[in-house]
Structure 1
């Protein structure tokens, strides 16, 4: 019996690396800059314990303060500096504008305006480490015995920020070059998605976009792509591509369900959304991956403090931000 999802080779996985697909889909995606390659020292930095900013990343020539105990029984922590990467990050920030998605409190946006802030976000993410280790990137892949496999290199992708309405984000599943299913990405209930006319428009727009922009260009038969629709639901922008495999979250589907959709030969893609506030998948007020949604100011202020000290200082920071916005 045919497997529910196809086996992946190393070449298959490399097709989903950002630098592999973005040049072909730049016109239909979000404006981005790719810094590549990053080198072995950058890999060591990402794997090093602690949240430590590389020297010079804050825009000064002074060395960062030591944040480790320099006692005789403690080895000094390795220091890192990436001046060439810093320069490219600063250029991207200048090109795109100093915008960021963190907002706490709502009236005071916290802006990414220096390489140090980018490093802080990278070091605070659990997901980034998956892409750092080659073993995890190619886990479960078949061998490419008779094909030359390009070397896997780390790359840093900087994307122009703009407000993203999570109610217009969708993940789309393609198997054997057929668009099978479309899932709402954000796990919350949006009443507008229950309207039949709106649902039909979402499916029609995504299917037409896929046929026009992706179907004849994407190199593999099996893949998923994430799309954010425009406010009028008439078009969209490509956010990312991922393998059609268990490593990619099927969201409101299961891969068994998608397999059945393929064998049942549905005439149009099936749209799955959360149809009520009581839906079992609805997280309501708790965003997905909330443990990674932590502003870098919070992380930097918390080092070495008790809970009471940190709570007091964080409250002062919020009050200061609010006063500056008045």
Structure 2
């Protein structure tokens, strides 16, 4: 197998002539709800909340990080308030704290999120149509995407540049001629529909990042597999044959002839004992998708055979992992380093009032996390 290398094929430009035209429909096909029902048995337990109210989208795009007092708006099945306050306290909606609560603009969604977290076991991982807020994990108390409350979800979503991109630039990679959603085919009259944004809440599982992989498909043929987490794991090279065989079989059985587009990228999780593959995400075959241990020049230059000649063989799949710690800096800088300090946090630091607000929110999150951990220990 080719060793981990970041060399590019010489004189292979990644221009429109070589890169498959990316259309509005291609991007839509990769939206979670567009494919998840067809592969329901292959994905972790998930709940999709859609459509998201415009008030919530506006909240995510607003400057500043204002989080709700969850106890004010948490309701039980009888409509009564569940509160951590003493019985003699009455945190009514008219209180000053409640009046500044952003969830008043999307109270039904807020309650549905609370119910969904409970139904999925108390902890979830959030994402929107295409992206998870992986670049914002550093801001959570555990440096993960684990969320136990709506406030945890809101903080991650509002701190993520990936989420902002979903909401404002999801189709920025589409062919400039694709004004009608048909790749520039003016003979068709398809009208591009407004995006119906969705909140995807996945049951939290403590995933081992060493066995997450990104797989590249060109002309319905699996041409490359790359580890996703850019850390060195000394055991991965020895698992190459097992992992490649499992992922190739998974692709051939479940995705090769069923996903609507011939060119796409899919992410999988193959936990020990490495005999079950979970589908995590599907992404467009596009420059906007991180090629990880490959270059897009290499992927575009990969040759594929016609279907009648194609014989699946794990020995022909380009499987790449980091083979030494020395290779780490050759492939990438720290993941999501461009987003380590979200604009909202940076802006908050410009004024003493902003710093104080951020400190209060952080203190509240830490206290909530300690309370949740304590409750879990008691159980």
Change (3 A) 1:261 1:164: same
Aligned to 1:141: 174
- Contact 1:170/1:228 (<8 A) preserved: yes
Q: CA deviation at 1:5?
A: 2.2
| Corresponding pairs, count | 305
Change (3 A) 1:158 1:65: farther
5+ unaligned residues in a row in structure 2: which ranges?
Answer: 1-11, 75-80, 82-91, 126-136
Change (3 A) 1:58 1:23: same
- Contact 1:226/1:240 (<8 A) preserved: yes
Matched, 1:62 2:93: yes
Structure 1 range deviating more: 55-64 or 182-191: 55-64
Aligned to 2:60: 46
Matched, 1:271 2:319: yes
* Aligned mates of 1:124, 1:140 — CA distance in 2: 23
Q: CA deviation at 1:230?
A: 2.4
Change (3 A) 1:62 1:246: same
- Contact 1:188/1:282 (<8 A) preserved: no
Q: TM-score, normalised by structure 2?
A: 0.68
Aligned to 1:193: 236
* Aligned mates of 2:207, 2:200 — CA distance in 1: 18
Aligned to 1:71: none
Change (3 A) 1:181 1:82: same
Q: CA deviation at 1:113?
A: 3.3
Q: 1:86 aligns with which of 102, 110, 117?
A: 110
Q: CA deviation at 1:171?
A: 0.2
Q: CA deviation at 1:84?
A: 1.7
Which aligned pairs between 1:288-299 and structure 2 lie closer than 5 A? 288-289=335-336
* Aligned mates of 1:105, 1:18 — CA distance in 2: 26
Q: 1:224 aligns with which of 259, 265, 279?
A: 265
Q: CA deviation at 1:126?
A: 1.8
Which aligned pairs between 1:144-293 and structure 2 lie closer than 5 A? 144=181, 145=186, 146=188, 147-195=190-238, 198-262=239-303, 268-281=316-329, 288-289=335-336
- Contact 1:188/1:283 (<8 A) preserved: no
Q: CA deviation at 1:232?
A: 1.1
- Contact 1:230/1:236 (<8 A) preserved: yes
Q: Encode CA deviations 1:145-197: one digit per residue, 9 max, x unaligned.
A: 422433311111111110100110000000111110001100011111222xx
5+ unaligned residues in a row in structure 1: which ranges?
Answer: 68-75
Q: CA deviation at 1:305?
A: 4.0
Change (3 A) 1:141 1:64: farther
Q: CA deviation at 1:304?
A: 4.0
What secondary structure does 2:161 align onto?
A: coil
Q: CA deviation at 1:62?
A: 3.1
Aligned to 2:164: 129
Change (3 A) 1:229 1:293: farther
Q: TM-score, normalised by structure 1?
A: 0.78
What secondary structure does 1:278 align onto?
A: helix
- Give RMSD over aligned pairs: 4.2
Q: Encode CA deviations 1:82-116: one digit per residue, 9 max, x unaligned.
A: 1221222122111111125788579xx99733323
Matched, 1:119 2:166: no
